[in-house]
Every structure is written in structure tokens, then in C-alpha cells.
Structure 1
Amino acid sequence: MKKELQIQVSPEEAHFEDQLLEIAARELKLSSNRILHLNIKKRSIDARKRKVKINLLLEVYVDEKFNPQTRSKTNFQEVHNAESVIVIGAGPAGLFAALRLIELGLKPIIVERGKNVRERRRDLAAITRFHTVDPDSNYCFGEGGAGTYSDGKLYTRSKKRGDVNRILQLLIEHGADENIAIDAHPHIGTNKLPKLIANIRQTILEWGGEILFNTRVVDLLIKEKQITGVRTQNNDKIEARKVILATGHSARDIFELLYRKNIKIEAKPFALGVRVEHSQQLIDQIQYHCDARGDYLPAAAYSVVKQVKNRGVYSFCMCPGGVIAPCATAPGEVVTNGWSPSKRDQPSSNSGIVVELSLDDFKPYLAFGPLAGVEFQKQIEQTAWKLGGETQRVPAQRLIDFTQGKTSKNIPQTSYIPGTTSVELGEVLPPFIYKSLQEGFKLFGQSMRGYLTNDAVVHAPESRTSSPVRIPRDRNTLEHIEIKGLFPCGEGAGYAGGIISAAIDGEKCAEQVAIGLGVFVPE
């Protein structure tokens, strides 16, 4: 028989199956030889007390032989000759929308402005080495979207939005480690994501979908409030009755296109701040209450939220054992983000530390209408570029100097390869953001002893936390509220906040497209 058992063990005990088996036998008051197999179903770290523990949910096979079952594969359909649906963008929303369309018997035509995942690497290297930004191929644009080369964290709080396990299983089916279905905060790693994305591409092509790389959409074709297709930068027309718009949070040209065409969009609040880097050893010491984490614990992460004068100041996209990356999407701007390899084995950790914004903060940009938040972002990113030396060098300040408003005499080397320029970051950030961050860091230091150190370095700005625009859609059909057949989707449309939630939204849009075309969608 199979039994479920919830236990809390030491990191070492969690690492060795024979020790787990003995603990399970003791908990179940059984002889250990009656346990023929153990499966770990869920795993999380509890570091609240001085002794770090691992929480495990076990599936225990008692007097029953374990027969591993072949994982069932998704039932894709042949769609070479099926009705076409245009999917704009090959990030997680677009890719998972395409996979779901194929399951439902429809042919996705993915239109992606950037390059395939392998060819993107040359353009990322050019940003780092030569400070050259290709506006169509960078950390945000290209196959796989922003998540491919900026970490691949799979944790989401949006479980009410859809089936998280289904997305994880599809990722496993395409090459992800099976542990992502077990860990509380699953993570794939930037070094492993490209192969996985290429496998998804192969599935889409194998079953009859199309992918057009280096193809930027410059116009939406609309007749009597009904989408009829798109026009690309080469003046080619692609026709379809349904279009899924999954362009990500940085496709400003798409927001501007919608605004020019009088297609309803709205300014949306987001968060903006800085990215701070500490040594991973220090974060381990703070979080695990020890001098060294040892062989059985992963690089420690942190998550912190404080209130400063009724504004949230919080950590965002924390990357243990990771690297800070240059994520500008156009020349003349500087943007930071972070990523970690699968082993999270780099000597430093970094996290965005951002301030909650409201629409009132964009009042100086009211002339830009619903693009006010976009212009707010642009000004800060362009100021950072100028103060950084009109290169991809990032304005930086030591952490205690930042809290005291002092220009740092020097900046130690950080993981941000293009380099840093010592700048008093009050020159980059609006005063209300700068002051909120100063107070926020002081509060972080009170709750995380050792965090507030001048060995840590603040890089500015962290500005692409989420879309500054929402593209309104019907709550039931997910179609744009004015344009029939147009389905705003994922992060760029304001309906997701990461790989998993974007993938879920992509699937939901695909299902509504299918329903609109009279295709049966099983529940």
C-alpha cells in the first residue's frame, strides 16, 4: 500500500535516501525492510529557526513494489492544414499559447521580432562587450522571451489563475529536471533554458505550427473592429481571424502602435528601483544562521517587504548565486536584471529592490496619455545611460553610501560585466523613489543583521518589473474590449508576472480562441 508522510528533517537527512527510509519507518512504526520505495512529492526549506530544516511530503510504498510509470505525453494534433492563429511573440505566453492551440487542433503562426535562442547569444555578448543594443534581439526580445536569459524562476503565487502543475509537466516533457514539480520554489537556470526552449520550438514545428523569426509586427490589420491579420516590417501581410498579442512588458513600439490606432490601452502601476548585489556567503550566513551553508543546502535566497510612508518597498526577482545582466532594449538606455545558473554557484547574489508606484506618480507625463508610465521608465533609463558615461556601464553606489546620500569613492568589481560608474543615485532616481529605498534598506538591515554593508553595491535602475500598460480585455472571452479577434496576453498586456503565470495566460487565451472558432475545449 502507498502512504503519504509529512516530515521535517535535517538537510543531510534529506539528501540521503537510506536515512530518509529509516526516518519514514520510524515515523510509521514499521520495520524498514517493509518500505520498498520512497518518492518525494514536495520539498521546501524552513530557515526560520537557528537549525535549518527541510520539509518533505513523501509517498511511501509499504509492502508494495514500485512500478515506475511512463510519463504520458501531451496529445498534440497534426495541424499543418488547420486554421491559422497568429501569435505575436515567442516568450512563455506565446509559446504555451502555441502548444495549446496545437493540442486543440489549430495552427499557430508565431511572429517573433528577435532571433532563435541560439543566435540571440551573439547579440547578448555584443551588449556586454561592445555596449551595442539591438532593439530586436536582446535580453527581452527573441525566442523564449525575457525569462530565457534572465533566470527561469518558476515560482508563482498565481495558483488561482490556472493549472501550475500542467505547465511544469509540459516543461519536464521538453527537458526540464523533474525536481521542478517537487520544489517549493522551482528554478531551471539560464544555462539550461535555451535547450528546453529549442525543444518546444521543435514540437511546434513538428506538429505543423510555423515560427517566423526576425519578423517584427508593425501594424494590426483591422476591418470594422475585427482583426484580419498583421503587417510585418517587410510589408508582408499575414491573415488570420484571431491574433494572440503576447509581446512582453518591454515592447514599447506595440503600445505606441495601439495608441496611434486608437485601440484602447490603459496606464498601469508597476514598481521601480535598483538591483543590489551582496556576497552569497553573507546571504547564506544571514538566512541560515551559520558561518557556511555546508554541502546539503542550496544558495540562500531572501524575500523581504517593508512599508515606507504607505509605499511598499520589496525584493523582486532575487537571484542567489547569480549575475546582474544588462537588459536595455534600445540604444541610449541602461536597464538591469538578474539571473542564476541552474546550480546557483556564482559567488554573489543579487536582488531587485523596488518601490511600489501609483498612477499619481506619472502626473508629470499626462500629455502621453496611457503611455505615461512608459515615459516615466524611459526618462530614468536614459538618465542612467548618460550618467553611466553613455555606455552600458551602470550607475552604482555602495549600499551604506546609498542610504547616506554619499557618492562612493570607488566601486568594487561586481558581476555586472559591462562595468560600473560611481554615481550618487539620487541623480538617477526621482527623489520619492530614492528616499523610499534609503529608508527601506535601513529597515532591511534591522531585520537581516549584516545586510546593510558597504561591501554591497547598488546598481540603477531596476525598471522592467512589469508592464507599465494594461491592454483591457473581456473577463470571459479574453478578447480586447473593442477589437474582436484580438487577444491581449501575458505580461505585456498586464495579465501575468513571470514565466508560469504568463504560460498559464497563454493557454487560457488559446482556449478562448478555440472556443471562438467553434472548437470543443475539454474542461
Structure 2
Amino acid sequence: MVKEIQLRVSLKEEEISNILVVKSAIKLAINQDDISGVKVLRKSIDARKPKIIFNYKVAVFINEPVPESSEYTFNYSDVSNAKPVHIIGFGPAGMYAALRCIELGFKPIVLERGKNVQDRRRDLRAINQYHDVNENSNYCFGEGGAGTYSDGKLYTRSLKRGDVRRIFENLVYHGATDQILVDAHPHIGTNKLPKVVQNIRETILNYGGEIHFNTRVTDFIIKSNTINALVLNDAEEISVEKVILATGHSARDIFYLLHKKHIAIEAKSFAMGVRIEHPQHIIDSIQYHCSGDRHELLPAASYSLVQQVNGRGVYSFCMCPGGFIVPAATANGEVVVNGMSPSKRNNLYANSGIVVEIDVNNDLPKYEQFGALKGLEYQKNLEKLAFTSGGRSQVAPAQRLTDFVDGKLSNTLNESSYQPGLNSAPLHSLLPKLIGSRLRKGFAAFGEKMKGYYTQEANIVGVESRTSSPVSIPRTDTLEHPEITNLFPCGEGAGYAGGIISAAMDGERCAEAACETL
């Protein structure tokens, strides 16, 4: 017999090794000896009150063995000689599209502008140490996409878009810890995710798929509203039947290419702002109601904040406890910041994007001349402004939080995890009023919600601009572009996902749609 129950465990009880068995026996009114095992299905922490509680959903196995294997199987078979599906981009959407093609008996041919995870590291080091951005290999472009070297958070609200559990199980199949199947806010860590990504690559290659790195799609050859061929690196031309476009939210050249060829794209609302960094102990003390170090059983504390200011949402985005701020520019001449955390989340700092909603239909009248690209051009201009105010390198403009809200330049800045360095700049006056004034009111409100959050010990760093794509690519109910019958816009870059898991689910859906018509 198997019983699913909810358990509440105090912090002190959590220290007891067999506490789940003890609590399960009490709740079910049975003998502990009758319990063969307890499998954790879900775990979360309730720290709203000083007495911290661990909430568990568990399956209690009574007088029967605990199964070891997953209920999910992934039926990969050789597709070396099968019909091909071309996939542009090898982030989460592209990876899962390729894996799904193999399951369905079709050959994925992946075209990735960047490098594999191992070779990407050199280019990331060049950004951090020498401020040199490789436009094809950086924190956004390369094997695994932006998530590979910027955290690997797996939380998603897209529960209706597909089988979320299947996506998680496939990550475990490829080497991720099975803890992601349990945690309420799962996370792999930027130090662990590259190996998972490498394992996915090996699966695709071992079963007959192809992956071509350093291969940038520079043109589409279109005849009779159908893409017949792709031009690679401005030179080679290859024939195609079905194309899944999974290039991510930062592949601006693709948006420009589609616009140039009069293939329909649309301006999409997005968000921009800054990244805020606190010493982690401040966030721990606020969230865990402690004055010293947090308990060893508690993870680095996180937070989620939202406030309506003058008709627009101001909210936290991609919160990285125990993490680093990283340079996420995709071209020289711009500064973009993002966050990441290692698996243990054991760095001294906590950082998060704090961003403002931007309604492209009402907020950007001066950019109407750019049509569908108006949000993109606005985004670019702020990134150039950050580059200039930071000192014309990857040094980022920054300000103490209290000085930003008070409207004065910071004489000194706090220590930071951002490796290229910070330059004191008047972000309160540099940021457009649309963003800056709302951020200032938003931060004041957050300080009321989290006592201690509003502090001079926090820096804000600019700009956090790649929260999502400022452009969407329309598609029909068959997931094809309405004008190009064999083009399947996919993932974050097309406007149909907002993170690793939702992008992966969309990749699977697009693969199914493409394969169904072959």
C-alpha cells in the first residue's frame, strides 16, 4: 500500500535523520516497522514566521518495496538515415526539439552560432578579464544557450504548456541531480549544468543527429513562401525541408533578417531595469529572522517582490541567492548584466534583476519609426548608455541603492561580485523616467515589505535588459509561421517561453509539429 501525505517538520526536527518515517507513522497511526520507505515528492520551506517549517509531500510505502526507477522512459533510436529537421539554435528549446525529433524517428540537424560548453569558457573569461565580447560566443550564445552559464533555474509557471515532469526527468536522465524533482524552486547550478548539456549533446550525436557549432545562419532562401535553403556563415548554402527557429531572445540579427525579408514579426512588451546586489547575510537575516549566520540546513535565502508603480509592474526577476553578477553583452559597445549561482549557492552575495514593465504600444512613442523593432532599438540604446556611463568597457555603471533613491551620485560603492568592475554613475538621472522613477518608488516599497532590504550596503548595477525578447514571431495553430509554411518559430526568442523549462516544452511541441508534417 502507498499513501501520499503532507508533513510539516520544524527546523529542529529536520536535524533528525529518520524524521519523515517517524512523522509518517504518527500521522498514519501505524508502526514504523511497517514503513518500507518514504519517498519525498515535494519539499518547500515556509519562513514567513520566526518558526521555520519544512513542508513535505511524501509517498509512504507500507509493507511494499520502494520503486527505484522513473516512470518516464526516453526511447531514443538511431536516426542517422531518417528525414532531417533543421534546428537553428542549441539552447533549451533547440536541445529538447532535437531530442524529441529522435524519439519520433527523425534526424535533427542543429545549427549553433556559438561554441560547445568547454570552448565557451575561454570567451567568458575574455569578457570578464579583458572586456572583449565575442559576438557569437558569450553568456547568451553557445551550447546550452543563456541558461548554461547563468544559473540554471528551473522554476516555471507554464504548467499547461506540456508535461513539466517529463522535462525534469529528462534532465535527471542526462545527469542532473534528482533533487530537482523534489524542490519547490529547483536549480541545477552554473557549475553543474554544462555537464548536463554535454550529455544531451552526446545523446543527440550517438543516435545519429548532427550538431554544427560555429555555424551562424545568415540568410534564408525563400521560394513560394517556403524556406528552401539556409545560408551559413555568409558562404555555404544547404537545402532544408522543416526549420525550427530557436535562436533565443538576444539573436538580434535574426529579427533584422526576418524584417528585411518582410517576414512578419511583431513588437512585444518586455521589461528592463537594473540588477541589485546585497550581501547574502542581509537577505538571510530578513527571510529567516536571524541575527547571525543562517542555520546550516537552510539554503541561501531568496526573495520575490512585485509592486505596481504608476500603472506598471516593478518586480524582481531571476533572483540569484549566493550568486554572481555576470556580463551578458552580445556585442562590443554595450553593457548588459545578468545573474548566476553555483549549485551550492555559497557565494557572499545575493543578486536579482529589478525591472519595470514596458508596454511597447504605449511607452515608446519616440521609437514608432522602427515598427516591430521599436522595443529592440530602445533596449539597444539603454545598453549603449550603460557602456558609455560605465567607462566604455565591460565595467558597469553602479550606485548605492539609497543614493539612487535619493537622487545623488555615490562617492563610493560596495564590494561586488561583478568581475569586470563597477563605475559610480548617476543612474537615477541616466535611466529614462519610464524606468528610473518607477524603480525608485519600487525600491522604497520593497524596503517596507522586507525590513532591511533598503540599505546603503546594496548596489544597483545597470542595465538588466535581456529579461525577455522585445520581438515576437507569430505562428498559427500548427506552430508554423503564418506566411512561411515550413518555419516553426520556437522558444524565448519567438516569444513563446520565459525560461529553461518553458523553452524546453516549446521545443518539444515544435518538434512534434514539424515531424508530423514530414
For 1:449, the equivalent position in structure 2 comes to 451
CA distance 1:448–1:72, shift in 2 (3 Å) = closer
Higher mean C-alpha deviation, range 426-435 or range 150-159 = 426-435
Equivalences for residues 245-394 of structure 1 within 5 A = 245-291=245-291, 292-359=293-360, 360-394=362-396
1:163 and 2:163 are equivalent in the alignment: yes
Contact 2:468-2:492 within 8 A present in 1 as well: yes
Measure the CA separation in 1 of the matches of 2:243 and 2:345: 38
1:416 and 2:418 are equivalent in the alignment: yes
Measure the CA separation in 2 of the matches of 1:482 and 1:172: 38
Q: Deviations over 1:433-473 (max 9, x none)?
A: 10000000000000100000001000010000000000000
Measure the CA separation in 2 of the matches of 1:223 and 1:495: 27
Contact 2:386-2:396 within 8 A present in 1 as well: yes
1:39 and 2:39 are equivalent in the alignment: yes
Cα RMSD of the aligned pairs, angstroms, is 1.1
Residue 374 of structure 1 aligns with an amino acid whose one-letter code is: L
Contact 2:42-2:58 within 8 A present in 1 as well: yes
For 1:432, the equivalent position in structure 2 comes to 434
Q: What is the deviation of 1:295?
A: 1.1
Q: What is the deviation of 1:101?
A: 0.5
CA distance 1:169–1:435, shift in 2 (3 Å) = same
Equivalences for residues 463-478 of structure 1 within 5 A = 463-474=465-476, 476-478=477-479
Q: What is the deviation of 1:493?
A: 0.3
Residue 406 of structure 2 aligns with an amino acid whose one-letter code is: Q
Q: Deviations over 1:253-283 (max 9, x none)?
A: 0000000000000000000000000011110
1:28 and 2:28 are equivalent in the alignment: yes
CA distance 1:64–1:481, shift in 2 (3 Å) = same
Higher mean C-alpha deviation, range 263-272 or range 225-234 = 225-234
For 1:10, the equivalent position in structure 2 comes to 10
Measure the CA separation in 2 of the matches of 1:268 and 1:11: 45
Q: What is the deviation of 1:166?
A: 0.6
Contact 2:405-2:428 within 8 A present in 1 as well: no
Tell me, which stretches of 5 or more residues in structure 2 are unaligned? none
Q: What is the deviation of 1:289?
A: 1.3
Residue 484 of structure 2 aligns with an amino acid whose one-letter code is: I
Higher mean C-alpha deviation, range 79-88 or range 221-230 = 221-230
Q: Deviations over 1:134-157 (max 9, x none)?
A: 100000000000000000000000
Q: Deviations over 1:137-181 (max 9, x none)?
A: 000000000000000000000101111101001100000000111
Contact 2:400-2:456 within 8 A present in 1 as well: yes
Q: What is the deviation of 1:326?
A: 0.3
* Paired positions, count: 516
Q: Deviations over 1:237-261 (max 9, x none)?
A: 1211100000000000000000000
Give the structure-2-normalised TM-score: 0.98
Q: What is the deviation of 1:68?
A: 2.6
Contact 1:2-1:60 within 8 A present in 2 as well: yes
Measure the CA separation in 2 of the matches of 1:296 and 1:166: 29
Contact 2:218-2:234 within 8 A present in 1 as well: no
For 2:399, the equivalent position in structure 1 comes to 397
Contact 1:271-1:356 within 8 A present in 2 as well: yes
Higher mean C-alpha deviation, range 271-280 or range 71-80 = 71-80
CA distance 1:92–1:69, shift in 2 (3 Å) = closer
**In structure 2, the residue corresponding to 1:57 is in which secondary structure?**
strand
Q: What is the deviation of 1:64?
A: 2.2
Measure the CA separation in 2 of the matches of 1:9 and 1:23: 8
Measure the CA separation in 1 of the matches of 2:314 and 2:459: 18
For 1:486, the equivalent position in structure 2 comes to 487
Contact 1:380-1:428 within 8 A present in 2 as well: no
**In structure 2, the residue corresponding to 1:250 is in which secondary structure?**
coil
Give the structure-1-normalised TM-score: 0.97
Contact 1:489-1:506 within 8 A present in 2 as well: yes
Identity %: 57
Measure the CA separation in 2 of the matches of 1:63 and 1:504: 37
Q: What is the deviation of 1:229?
A: 2.4
Q: What is the deviation of 1:15?
A: 5.3
Measure the CA separation in 1 of the matches of 2:229 and 2:85: 9
For 1:123, the equivalent position in structure 2 comes to 123
Q: Deviations over 1:104-150 (max 9, x none)?
A: 01111100000001100000000000000010000000000000000
Equivalences for residues 36-115 of structure 1 within 5 A = 36-69=36-69, 73-115=73-115
Measure the CA separation in 2 of the matches of 1:40 and 1:241: 45
Q: What is the deviation of 1:58?
A: 1.0
Measure the CA separation in 2 of the matches of 1:216 and 1:376: 25
For 1:505, the equivalent position in structure 2 comes to 506
Residue 189 of structure 2 aligns with an amino acid whose one-letter code is: G
Measure the CA separation in 1 of the matches of 2:15 and 2:230: 53
**In structure 1, the residue corresponding to 2:238 is in which secondary structure?**
strand
Contact 1:12-1:296 within 8 A present in 2 as well: no
Measure the CA separation in 1 of the matches of 2:234 and 2:261: 20
Residue 208 of structure 1 aligns with an amino acid whose one-letter code is: G
1:205 and 2:215 are equivalent in the alignment: no
Contact 2:72-2:169 within 8 A present in 1 as well: no
1:152 and 2:152 are equivalent in the alignment: yes
Q: What is the deviation of 1:16?
A: 4.2
Measure the CA separation in 1 of the matches of 2:224 and 2:182: 49
Q: What is the deviation of 1:73?
A: 3.8
Measure the CA separation in 2 of the matches of 1:96 and 1:70: 19
Measure the CA separation in 1 of the matches of 2:221 and 2:364: 31
1:496 and 2:478 are equivalent in the alignment: no
Measure the CA separation in 1 of the matches of 2:15 and 2:39: 13
Q: Deviations over 1:332-359 (max 9, x none)?
A: 0000000000000001100000001101
Q: What is the deviation of 1:431?
A: 1.4
Measure the CA separation in 2 of the matches of 1:32 and 1:12: 21
Contact 2:280-2:350 within 8 A present in 1 as well: yes
Contact 2:447-2:454 within 8 A present in 1 as well: yes
For 1:218, the equivalent position in structure 2 comes to 218
**In structure 2, the residue corresponding to 1:6 is in which secondary structure?**
strand
CA distance 1:440–1:70, shift in 2 (3 Å) = closer
For 2:461, the equivalent position in structure 1 comes to 459
Measure the CA separation in 1 of the matches of 2:27 and 2:184: 23
CA distance 1:14–1:223, shift in 2 (3 Å) = farther
